[in-house]
Amino acid sequence: MWTSKWSGVGVLGMAACALGACGCAPRMVTFSRNRMIPPDFFLPKRLDVLAVAVAPRPLSDGLPGETIENKLAERLVDTRYYQTSVLRDLATTVPNYAETTAALIETGRVAPELRDALKQRGDPPGAIVTGKVWVREAGAAPTPDLIAALTEILKQRSHDRRGSPSPVAPASAPKAPSGPTQAVVSGTLRAISLDGRILCAANAAQTVRTDALPSFGDALSDAFLKKISPTWEQTTYSLCYDCQECKAACYILKAIGPVDPAPPDDLKPVQELLASRLTRRPNDDCALFLTGIVHELLLDWEKAKDYYNRAIIRRPCKEYSDARERVSWIVAKLKHGEQEMKQLQKEQEERLKKEAEAEFKDYDSRKK
């Protein structure tokens, strides 16, 4: 876990210096920090890869679906966020497996027999990852079927999360060229819940040599992982304050830096300063907004939203509205995956603890 260098006396000392600054006229202070943004949808802890279809044959022989399935499963495990496997064993247990899988790839529909087979597993997936890849020779005229299929990808890029049937590339595919040539590759991966909801979709496209087609599996896997993995975003606050408490709170928050959640001990001086200000001036919008930031740093989204609301009532402005919208978004998404997020945070804490212990043991052994 990240620990702030501004511990105890240092933070209090900074607060004292800021409070000792002369003048209480309205002033502007700007501070920024990195904020961890959760993925678009909080996905279940278990994501299993069912099938990735690659068409047309034989042009795409250099990129079998198994290559992408294996790479994706490996990378999902490497993130340490998800448990995963490739569901090839279902081929022997699900009636009409080929037709069922094809329907899932094309429409996102989870057939009842497939759902039953997944639920009977000892470790049923929370979502199935499946996808499709299209390959055509660069410079070759695309067929109407391929154009329709690529149009489907464009629809997904426009956030059409409901999904719709997309035509299958023609079975009478062109013959494989005699030597390496350039190929245009496009693909999509989707995470689908057992009740048929498309939780997220990721797309990728490349022009590669036909003898380097397997590298596209990496590109498509990376696009999917990027879509479902938390990312860091820089947030800058420019606030106008007219009291020494808010000024001190701003500078302490600036010193704490990029961490989610922030160390509670480092935030205590900020909370004390803002509580003192709000006791005397309950309608100070800057103090209300800063208190919302403190609760957001502590991942207490509901309280953060409440304080942002109160600040907006006192002084409507874009910065306050943006903060409320951001937190409202997180609150809404947490309702869809609260248990998964708790489990994720627990696993992250355990991983960080193990890494710290391993680092200490390594240091101790080198010291001896």
What is residue 319's predicted lDDT score, i.e. its pLDDT?
Answer: 81
What is residue 338's predicted lDDT score, i.e. its pLDDT?
Answer: 56
Q: How far apart are CA 134 and CA 69, in angstroms?
A: 15
Instruction: Report the amino acid identity of residue 111.
Output: A
Q: How far apart are CA 99 and CA 81, in angstroms?
A: 31
Positive or negative: CA dihedral 30, 296, 272, 290: positive
What interhelical angle do 264-280 and 244-256 show, nearest 10?
Answer: 160
What is residue 164's predicted lDDT score, i.e. its pLDDT?
Answer: 43
Helix runs in the chain, H state only = 8-19, 65-78, 97-107, 112-119, 144-157, 215-228, 244-256, 264-280, 285-297, 301-314, 318-367
Positive or negative: CA dihedral 61, 66, 70, 75: positive
What is residue 305's predicted lDDT score, i.e. its pLDDT?
Answer: 92
Domains of the chain, CATH where assigned: 8-38+232-351 (1.25.40.10), 47-228 (no CATH)
Q: Render each residue's pLDDT in the chain as its tens digit; 368 residues.
A: 333 333 333 433 444 444 444 344 556 777 776 666 666 556 788 899 999 988 887 777 788 889 899 999 988 888 777 888 899 888 888 988 888 888 898 888 899 999 999 888 888 888 999 999 988 877 666 566 655 655 555 555 444 333 444 443 444 444 444 555 788 888 999 999 888 888 888 888 888 887 888 888 888 998 898 888 766 677 777 777 778 889 888 888 877 765 656 778 888 999 999 999 999 999 999 999 999 989 988 888 889 999 999 999 998 888 888 888 888 877 766 666 656 556 656 666 676 677 667 766 665 665 55
Instruction: Report the amino acid identity of residue 153.
Output: I
Checking phi first, is residue 311 left (phi over 0); if not, alpha (psi -120 to 50) or beta? Answer: alpha
Compute the CA torsion angle 16, 21, 27, 31 (nearest 10 deg).
-40
Residue position matching structure tokens 């990735």:
52
Contact 44, 126 (CB under 8 A): yes
What is residue 177's predicted lDDT score, i.e. its pLDDT?
Answer: 46
Q: How far apart are CA 44 and CA 342, in angstroms?
A: 11
Contact 293, 235 (CB under 8 A): no
Helix/strand/coil for 4: coil
Alpha-carbon radius of gyration of the chain: 26
What is residue 24's predicted lDDT score, i.e. its pLDDT?
Answer: 47
Let me know if 105 is exposed, middle or buried by CB neighbors in 10 A (0-12, 13-18, 19+). Answer: buried
What is residue 346's predicted lDDT score, i.e. its pLDDT?
Answer: 67
Close Cβ partners of 102 (under 8 Å, ≥ 6 residues apart)? 53
